[in-house]
Structure 1
Amino acid sequence: MVSKEPNSTTASCGTTTSIVIRDHLQRSMKLGYHYLMTHFLFLCLVTLTAITLTQASQLNYEDFENLYLKLQCNLATVVAFSCLVVVGFTVYYMSRPRPVYLVDYACYRPPDRLQVKNQKFMDHSRLIPDFNESSLEFQRKILERSGLGEQTYLPEAMHQIPPIPSITAAREEAEQVMFGALDNLFSATGIKPKEIGILVVNCSLFNPTPSLSAMIVNKYKLRGNIKTFNLGGMGCSAGVIAMDLAKDMLQLHRNTYAVVVSTENITQNWYLGNKKSMLIPNCLFRVGGSAVLLSNWRSDKYRSKYRIIHVVRTHMGSSDVAFKCVYQEQDERGKPGVSLSKDLMKIAGNALKTNITTLGPLVLPIREQLLFFITLILRKIINPNIKPYIPDFKLAFDHFCIHAGGRAVIDELEKNLSLEPIHVEASRMTLHRFGNTSSSSIWYELAYSEAKGRVRKGDKVWQIAFGSGFKCNSAVWQALRNVKPSCNSPWLDCIDSYPVEMVY
């Protein structure tokens, strides 16, 4: 007799499926435990009230009379119980998370003189002696396939021949972007700078001394006890991280406003070398920035646009490959720049899967969660070749703001999440009109949906961003009313010409 070896592929697939099922169960149990602990006091009070009402409904008139006499005899017990109930409700009310509202936000729109057409971009590049013919041809191909249009913006220093990457020019770019967005925000909301209690600024590659947040404090003469934070080196997903930090701070400091400023600085980070992996950011990144006003004043609910529902952050930095897939370094000639790995999209896909595995149970309908879980069981028990079930996130969200990092990023998420062209329209059009504005791109995308009149009361918005490290972060918002575009929306004078047909 000839003994047969077990099928290693099937065994491996079964083991993998078991791990996935185990991880799903563990996450579900953790989420259930977190929910139970968060609402423990409330659940106890509801249970006690339900039991009391059930018992009371079974009493007749004579029982009520007897109960009244007993209560008179045990007045101290009744008073103590009543005090306990009042204290319980008070503790629950004071300890529960306060809602955080997005009053309004503003995106910076640079002056038209800073626009750069693709041909002008290439003409300027040819005048820079650092680039060889191979690098110039590579940049031309990237521009053609990038999804960027002819109206994106570069900073003043990049319009000079040769470019002037000085710290003075970089400060000027930062001031123009941040102050421009903040001026629009204060104008749209009527908030006075002195009312701001928390300020969070994120910019990955430019972190001068004094800091960018100090520049804002000095410009607008913010109050002396303001809580300021400056986030650097956290990539294009830093906007969601900054939002999460501001949200947490608003839980600690009551009845105040928080401002989140997100931008990236291009002036000092233009790569003047010939390493192709470091030339890609030159072709994709453009000038942009946003300023967001958050509030924990309950009265602001009626004038705010959105309420934040969830923030889910995923960090893949424990993997060396993921850690170095977006990496600032010097080439062999000592020229600094940011290198993008060829494994970037694969790593981004893995980060997305991890992120939505955590986000899914929080937002997906029970039906989608059950179908996903049942499919895992069937793959384990019956046939490992059964196609995995991809949850339909279109049932959970009405609007998708996918970081406009590049055409490949948008294509990958459209495919992985089974989205329709309408769902990625805001991302593609933002990339076309403004380019990759780093952490602020998700706000240009939301502004696009607002300008199109698509955001209605109760709609849920999913902002997804990727960043160096490697990170994938999600923020979920719910519209509090039918949202109209802000008076200083960057899309107001051009929204009617969009969407445009994309030709690659």
Structure 2
Amino acid sequence: MKSANNGVEILQSRRLPDFSPSVKLKYVKLGYHYLISHLPTLCLVPLMSVIIVEASRLSLDDIHELWLQLEYNLVSVILFCSVLVVVSTVYFMSRKRSVYLVDFSCYLPPSHLKIKHDYFMEYCKSETAFDESSLEFLRKIMERSGLGEETSAPETLRSIPPRAPTIADARQEAELVMFGALDKLFANTNVKPRDVGILVVNCSIFNPTPSWSAMIINKYKMRSNIKSFNLAGMGCSAGVIAVDLAKDMLRVHRNSYAVVFSTENMTYNWYSGTKKSMLISNCLFRLGGAAVLLSNKSADRKRSKYELSHVVRTHMGANDKAFKCVQQEQDDDGKTGVSLSKDLMAIAGDALKTNITTLGPLVLPVSEQLLFFVTLVAKRLFNAKIKPYIPDFKLAFEHFCIHAGGRAVIDELEKNLQLLPVHVEASRMTLHRFGNTSSSSIWYELAYMEAKGRMRKGDRVWQIAFGSGFKCNSAVWLALNNVKPSATNPWKDCIHRYPVKLML
């Protein structure tokens, strides 16, 4: 009896394979993807077999006869070789030049600028414009925001009682973040500012005269023929737009460096009114910025971290609801702020669908494209009650940098793209540690992955960002090496504490 019980215990302790329908379907799908991915190779095997068999039948006399025919047709051979050389030359001269990401640097605020939740609420209570209803709303938003206790804010938003921000305050914040990131970038890459031929800067809210780009040129004494651009009012997705502009410029100007700097200004982004749709941004936006060095020099490939594969931009501005869902405006009391529509998540979802419709064929394996096409045809032609097939983007990318605009944004994309928790970890941790740093958040997320040692040679990264207008923009990068974190990685001193457990 005892031995029988022991036998039952042994059987129960053994982990039997799971043959449930969902698991079987998973393996069928994996087999399908493997078959389609290797179909060209499988088709070539019989062809190569036939060629080898036929070649083995050739005698030495047959080979000698072929050689004689080539000798007597020397003019044809020379003509063919000449055409081949010309075509090859035209191809190599006209092909698009690769754009490399040499390195990037994210601004790390000093510890004295950290703003804990309790201090944030104390600052809000000292703001005479807020009533009890506004304070309660801000408290609830902070509790659900996904922000931790280590996010940072500029000096103007730390002074109690609050004081009216000035242009000088906004400039001070701009210089702190901008030069903090750029100093580290130039130090990490050993590139001199005068060697930079293209400069692109983006900030939505604060746009002084002289511009941000002029401030950088003045600080670093850059050359007079530099191609500089200043992007304004384009929202949190402007970082990808700036990269796209720099890419286009690099494909025109050979042997050049381009610097892209992305940020947002909190000093001019604070709303001191009572309209709830305009109060949300007070809770989410925090201090941050990122500087990126791009190059089109083939010699820089070995030392670069990534190569830019694709940029896909989607603009939904023709739709009135999309156009107005994120809008800077004044409330009834004349207070300026950014209003977020209740339709924001639905509009973001539509923009994402449009974006991935263009991106999908560029990055997805043929097996996924076939499934998507067959489902679409069945739905259109036969009016079949079939749910639209959502491509598995995990087969196209190893890493995802989803704009840390808020917990709801990350949750929605995790659900819609059927991602795993590890795929959105960098986004959640960036939101927790640094808050919503607008267009630079996707760079803090990439820095997180590097600090974790997850970026291997050949890995593909998808940066997704949303912005006012309404826009959804994507950038795809290919890791050229096993990427190591830079010496100034913003996660360097705290990465051992992450990921942290977040309250739901």
**Under a length normalisation based on structure 2, what TM-score does the superposition of the two structures give?**
0.86
Secondary structure of 1:337 counterpart: strand
Q: Indicate the residue corresponding to 1:347 in structure 2.
A: 347
CA contact (8 A) 1:135 1:276 kept: yes
1:180 aligns with 2:183: no
Aligned counterpart, 1:484: 484
Q: What is the rounded CA distance, in whole Å, between the counterparts of 1:69 and 1:386 in structure 2?
A: 64
Match of 2:71 among 53, 68, 72: 68
Within-5 A mapping of 1:309-388: 309-380=309-380, 384-388=384-388
SS at match of 2:362: helix
- The C-alpha deviation readout for 1:230-250, integer Å capped at 9, x for no partner, is 000000000000000101111
Report the secondary structure of 2:453's partner residue. Answer: coil
Matches within 5 A, 1:51-450: 60-71=63-74, 74=75, 82-160=81-159, 161-380=161-380, 384-450=384-450
Contact 1:235 1:468 in 2 (8 A): yes
What do the CA deviations read for 1:331-377 (whole angstroms, capped 9, x no partner)? 00111110000000000000000001111111111111111122223
Distance 2:223 2:167 in 1: 27
3-state SS in 2 of match to 1:436: coil
Contact 1:285 1:435 in 2 (8 A): yes
Q: Residues of 2 paired with 1:277 and 1:208: CA distance? A: 26
Distance 2:383 2:65 in 1: 66
Contact 1:104–1:292 (CA under 8 A) maintained in structure 2:
yes
Q: Is the 8 A contact 1:402 1:410 kept in 2?
A: yes
Cα distance between partner residues in 2 of 1:380 and 1:238: 36
2:220 and 2:148 map into 1 onto residues whose CA distance is: 35
Contact 1:200–1:213 (CA under 8 A) maintained in structure 2: yes
Cα distance in 2, alignment partners of residues 394 and 489 from structure 1: 26
CA distance in 2, matches of 1:65, 1:95: 38
* Residues 100 and 294 in structure 1, CA contact (< 8 A), matched pair in contact too: yes
- What is the root-mean-square deviation of aligned Cα atoms in Å? 1.7
Question: Per-residue CA shift, 1:115-172, capped at 9, x if unaligned?
Answer: 1011101101111111111111111110000000011011111112213410001001
Superposed displacement of residue 293, structure 1:
0.5
Counterpart Cα distance in 1 of 2:342 and 2:387: 28
Q: Which letter maps to 2:437?
A: T
How much does 1:378 deviate?
3.0
Q: Is the 8 A contact 2:271 2:337 kept in 1?
A: yes
Offset at residue 64 of structure 1 (A): 3.2
| Shift, 1:475, TM fit | 0.4
Alpha-carbon distance in structure 2 between the residues aligned to 1:433 and 1:257: 31
Preserved CA contact (<8 Å) 1:164 1:267: no
Task: Tell me the CA shift for residue 390 of structure 1.
Answer: 1.2
Q: Answer whether contact 2:203 2:262 (CA < 8 A) is retained.
A: yes
C-alpha distance in 1, partners of 2:186/2:164?
32
Question: For residues 416 and 247 of structure 1, what CA distance do their matches in structure 2 show?
Answer: 30
Contact conserved, 2:70 with 2:77, CA < 8 A, in 1? no
CA distance in 1: counterparts of 2:78 and 2:420, whole angstroms: 61
SS at match of 1:267: coil
Give a deviation string over 1:265-285, Cα, whole Å, max 9, x none.
010221110000000111100
Q: Which amino acid aligns with 2:407?
A: R
How far 1:79 sits from its partner (Å)? Answer: 5.8
Structure 1 residue 389, shift from structure 2 partner: 1.7
Quote the sequence identity (%).
69
Q: Superposed, which structure 2 residues align to 1:30-41 within 5 Å?
A: none
Q: 1:117 to 1:93 in 2, by over 3 A?
A: same
- Shift of the alpha carbon at 1:403? 0.0
Greater Cα offset, 221-230 or 436-445:
221-230
Query: How many Å apart are 1:388 and its aligned residue?
Result: 2.5
- SS in structure 1 at match of 2:251: helix
Read off the aligned partner of 1:365 and give its amino acid letter. P
Report deviation, 1:113: 0.8
CA distance in 2, matches of 1:351, 1:345: 10
Equivalent residue number for residue 11 of structure 1: none
How far does residue 328 in structure 1 lie from its aligned partner after superposition?
A: 0.5
Alignment partner, residue 500 of structure 1 = 500
Whole-angstrom distance in 1 between the partners of 2:122 and 2:66: 94
Please say if residues 257 and 293 of structure 1, whose CA atoms lie closer than 8 Å, have aligned partners that are also in contact: yes
Counterpart position of 1:465: 465
Distance in 2, matches of 1:106 and 1:93, equals: 33
| 1:453 matched to 2:450 | no
Q: Which amino acid aligns with 1:62?
A: E
Equivalent AA in structure 2 for residue 196 of structure 1: V
1:3-24 alpha-carbon deviations (Å, 9 max, x no partner): xxxxxxxxxxxxxxxxxxxxxx
CA shift, 1:382, in A, is 5.3
Number of residue pairs matched?
A: 445
Partner Cα separation in structure 1 for residue 240 and residue 493 of structure 2: 28
Partners of 1:456 and 1:496 in 2: CA distance: 20
Question: CA contact under 8 A between 2:457 and 2:481: conserved in structure 1?
Answer: yes
Hey, what's the Cα distance between the residues in 2 that align with 1:66 and 1:147?
A: 76
CA offset digits 1:188-225 (Å, max 9, x no partner): 11111111111000001111111000000000011111
Counterpart-to-counterpart distance in 2, 1:251 and 1:81: 32
C-alpha contact 2:392 2:417 (8 A) present in aligned 1 = yes
> SS at 2:228's partner residue?
strand
CA-CA distance at 1:60 after TM superposition: 4.4
C-alpha separation in 1, matches of 2:457 and 2:73: 52
Quote the Cα distance in structure 2 between the aligned partners of 1:253 and 1:462. 26
Please list every run of 5 or more consecutive structure 1 residues that lacks an aligned counterpart in the other structure.
1-53
Q: Unaligned stretches of 5+ in structure 2?
A: 1-54
SS state at 1:269 partner = coil
Q: Which amino acid aligns with 1:484?
A: K
